[in-house]
Amino acid sequence: MSLGPVMLDIAGTQLTEEDKKRLLHPLTGGIILFSRNYSNHRQLTELTHEIHALRNPHLLIAVDHEGGRVQRFQKDFTKLPAMRELGKIWDKQPTRARHLAKQVGYVLAAELNACGVDFSFTPVLDIDHGQSCVIGDRAFHHNPNVISELAHNLMLGLKKGGMLAVGKHFPGHGYIQADSHLQISIDQRRYTDIEMNDLVPFQQMINYGLPGIMPAHVIYPKVDQHPAGFSNIWLQKILRTELQFEGCIFSDDLSMQGAADYLESIVMRAQAALHAGCDMILICNNLKGVDEVLNKLYWEMSATSLSRLARMHARDNFESMTKLRENGDYIRAVREISIIGCETGDLPLQ
């Protein structure tokens, strides 16, 4: 059974029969995990193995695991810094910041990979304009070129850990104060202003081979009346054609208020996002909406989308967290990133 376009979630730490039924649906292609799905690394590994065993090719398993205030798994996992901490180090020691970004990416990916997770929705490529209530310290920096440098090195670390990167939130969520999780969000800037600033990290990361992108549920009315994740102009004309992005496009959560205020019906949102150019759509914390989409959505996956999704499977699995903790590169990386944000963070590398 080939992968479908829907990524959904589950309620607990184990699969129920209802979960299995949804995961076996032809329209399902992946699952996103949250803190409620995690108790320890052994439980997580058992859960991911059970999910992967359901289908061939196996369902994609994703998580929002950026570091800082967005890290779904805490116990047994290394505490990862907010990306802004790497930006602070850059301002004093750019070479060291690059190295630490790579080490953070490696630890992030290796730990998730060892537990059977395919990828994290990271890095955040939004610019810290100093006014967003939802981005804030999730952004590396206020300088788009610094963001590109640090995100590139984080992506290299992710790759070393067997995992691909997904940049977000295209074309940039950092300028406005509104939180698209909670309300409709509008950015009134002209395209030229966005192109000269917020698009820079996305363009540079695409040039570096970025495999995945997640668009924002933000409306940029001077470009298009539709939110970016539902916009053919943003996803096809700008992202695919002008920026020449060939990777996978994942919608942001279609249950977010920024999407719900745009189109009331979850099925209409799913259709709109897919028609605009998303390869996979996310529906989170809304099992009623998931069932409605699985029952009513009609969508034929293209060979191109299937190829893009297949690429997102993790590689070079570390077998187990126990084995990983015996790995010398991993031990050194954990030691180095453990002091990020501490006074000793300004010490040169040994």
Q: Which residues are catalytic?
A: 181, 252
303 Cβ partners below 8 Å, 6+ apart? none
C-alpha distance from residue 7 to each of 17, 38, 270 (Å): 18, 18, 11
The answer to whether 193 touches 184, Cβ cutoff 8 Å, is no
Report long-range pairs for 219-225 (Cβ below 8 Å, ≥24 apart): 219/184, 219/185, 219/186, 219/187, 219/262, 220/171, 220/186, 220/187, 220/188, 220/189, 220/191, 220/194, 221/186, 221/188, 222/188, 222/189, 222/190, 222/191, 223/191, 223/194
Q: Which two tokens stand for residue 221?
A: 């009315």
Q: Tokens in use for 257?
A: 């208020």
Answer left, alpha or beta for residue 168, where phi above 0 means left and psi between -120 and 50 means alpha.
beta
What does the block give as tokens for 203? 């363009």
List helix spans (H) across the chain.
Answer: 17-23, 41-54, 83-92, 94-114, 144-160, 191-196, 199-207, 232, 257-260, 266-276, 287-296, 303-310, 321-324, 328-337
